[in-house]
Structure 1
Amino acid sequence: MEDMEKFLFKFKGYYFNHSSLNIGFIENLDNFEIRENDVFIITYPKSGTIWFQQLLSLIYSEEHRKGTGKLETKDGVPYLEYKAPEMDFGERPSPHLFSTHLPYYLVPSGLKNKKAKIIYVYRNPKDVMCSYFHFAKNVMIQFTGTFEEFMKQFLEGRVVGSLWFDHIRGWYEQRSLFNIQFMTCEEMKKDPRGSVLKICRFLGKGLSEEDMDAVVRQATFENMKDDPLVRVTVSDWKNHLTVEQNESSDQIFQREMKDFPLEFIWDMNED
């Protein structure tokens, strides 16, 4: 169970992935220049990040919509905190699109002027936990233990992203500091067109009916799984959690998120 912890780097109470981190960049992140038309996708890990990176690329790039662009999603909407050494953020065309797992207190201070836009995407934590387990074990090869062992680590916040409860609660409680829109991964899956319209209204981005159709068609979950430029980890907590594990996680969720106003979709078949 200890194997994943050797990849963790703790900075100001938050766990990063040490293997792909520029510590000097992180230490100076508070002063990173934020431009008025910057757009950020903010998520806890395994909460639909890649899906929404793809969605932003489709909304902002005609080449991406038409399939003529060769830029991978991770490069078109790069992670702020895991900046590639060869990437110069300042040289990228505007608007600058970013994704990040950072908690509210570690993002650049310029985001608090409410000019740049933030889409905070969240997902029900049971699916987050199950998806995270498969990602850590089968994709990153950073965890070799059982699901039960991972569940304990996840619920204690000893993973990249730290404690899920702290992340979502922190962003929601500090929302007045930012220009932020909260969305669930599940609502995008249930109502792609309505979700795209909601995002475009928030971004002030007008699309023709033809472009809107192209975005919605390519941003459906099934199409995402087949896109060679996108990697999607699928998970269904009902097929992974035992009855005991489900009851235990429910008790913890109810204790930690009591009176929390954001709604969660636990079952995609429910209205």
Structure 2
Amino acid sequence: MDNMNEYLINFKGYNFEKALANIEDLEKMEDFEIRDDDVFIITYPKSGTIWTQQILSLIYYEGHRNNTENISTIDRAPFLEYNIYNLDYAKMSSPRIFTSHLPYYLVPKGLKEKKAKILYIYRNPKDVLISFFHFSNWVVTLEATDTIDHYLEKFLDGKVVGSRWFDHIRGWYEHRHDFNIMFLSYEDLKKDLRSSVLKICSFLKKELSEEDVDAVVRQATFQNMKYDPLANYHYIVNNKVGARKKDGCFLRKGTIGDWKNHLTVEQNERFDMIFKSNMKNFPLKFIWDINEQ
């Protein structure tokens, strides 16, 4: 264990958010008891985590779909490694949905039995970088950075929560045969939410009526979520994390290609060079721009 700075704590080679991490929980993580019907959402930070929590909550909970239950998304699909409410996960009723940014080698061993399902959502890393930069400057539990140039260095060096993006996605992809896992891109969700929801349902073996699928898709659009306090983590920011400035929210823009508004030609070329050397022969496709087919 390594205390990197006041914001990060490094456990077994991976950076956690210091304000939220509990080392005793992390040490017990690999023995956490997995049920066959557990579902895990795994992401690198700022890759569509809340969006996926919302989609799965809408798929699994009728009360979430028809607004008869007032339960926030973070409580439907709590973070495994950041148990900020000290919930007793063993007492949660099945099927449980968990959210995690963990790398493949720190997840509970029981996930390798391949019964529980993992949905891995990935996003093009330039947009992840920009989103993370804004987010880190907004919440008080992360280190603020004065410029994108400075943040770019931190991100490429893995000196951020989640460590190196390249290691996270490659690690999970290269060990995909050890798990019951489906990979889906943020950009696919953005471009065709309905067919993505159907893909997710089919992976989870959840059969929904046409009407229910419509309800999921309608409530899981970015605009609807942004203005839904249950989906937008309002409570957490106000009571658990804290924001540096009033305007801002967990869900900022939710677009594809926002990096073009922020990166200079030089920064972009540097990123491309490092991306190419780290992602050689990597089969998953990345969409860098909203107009790409």
* d(CA) in 1 for partners of 2:228, 2:85: 26
TM-score normalized by structure 2?
A: 0.89
Structure 2 unmatched ranges of 5 or more? 233-250
Equivalent residue, structure 2, for 1:233: 252
Note if contact 1:5-1:158 (Cα within 8 Å) is conserved in structure 2.
no
* Other structure's SS at 2:146 match: coil
* More contact order relative to length (CA 8 Å, sep ≥ 6): 1
Following superposition, the deviation at residue 237 of structure 1 comes to 0.6
2:194, 2:124 → 1: CA distance?
21
Q: Which residue of 2 aligns with 1:193?
A: 194
Q: Does 1:250 align with 2:272?
A: yes
Which segment is superposed worse, 248-257 or 160-169? 248-257
Hey, what does 2:121 align to over in structure 1? 121
Counterpart for residue 99 of structure 1? 99
Question: C-alpha displacement at 1:12, in angstroms?
Answer: 0.5
Q: Secondary structure at the match of 1:99?
A: strand
Aligned length: 268
**How far did 1:86 drift?**
3.1
Query: What residue identity is the alignment partner of 1:184?
Result: S
Aligned-residue CA RMSD (Å)? 1.2
Asked whether the equivalents of residues 133 and 145 of structure 2 are also in contact (C-alpha less than 8 Å), the reply is: no
Alignment of 1:1-271 (within 5 A): 5-140=5-140, 142-231=143-232, 232-234=251-253, 236-271=258-293
Amino acid at match of 2:274: I
Residue 85 of structure 1 deviates from its aligned partner by: 4.5
Deviation by residue 1:18-46 (Cα, 9 ceiling, x = unmatched):
11111101101110000000000000000
Structure 1 window deviating more from structure 2 (236-245 vs 163-172): it is 236-245
Moved more, 18-27 or 196-205: 18-27
SS in 2 for 1:51: helix
In 2, distance between residues paired with 1:60 and 1:188? 18
Q: How far did residue 204 of structure 1 move? A: 0.2
Q: Hey, what's the Cα distance between the residues in 2 that align with 1:128 and 1:263? A: 15
1:131-163 per-position Cα deviation (integer Å, ceiling 9, x unaligned)? 000000013363142111111000000111000
Give, as a single letter, the amino acid of the residue that structure 2 aligns with 1:248.
R
Quote the offset at 1:6 in angstroms.
Answer: 1.9
Contact 1:186/1:265 (<8 A) preserved: yes
| Deviation, structure 1 residue 266 | 0.6
For residues 239 and 64 of structure 1, what CA distance do their matches in structure 2 show? 36
| Secondary structure of the corresponding residue to residue 228 of structure 1 | coil
Percent of aligned pairs with the same amino acid: 60
Which residues of structure 1 form unaligned runs of 5+? none
Deviation at 1:165, TM superposition (A): 0.2
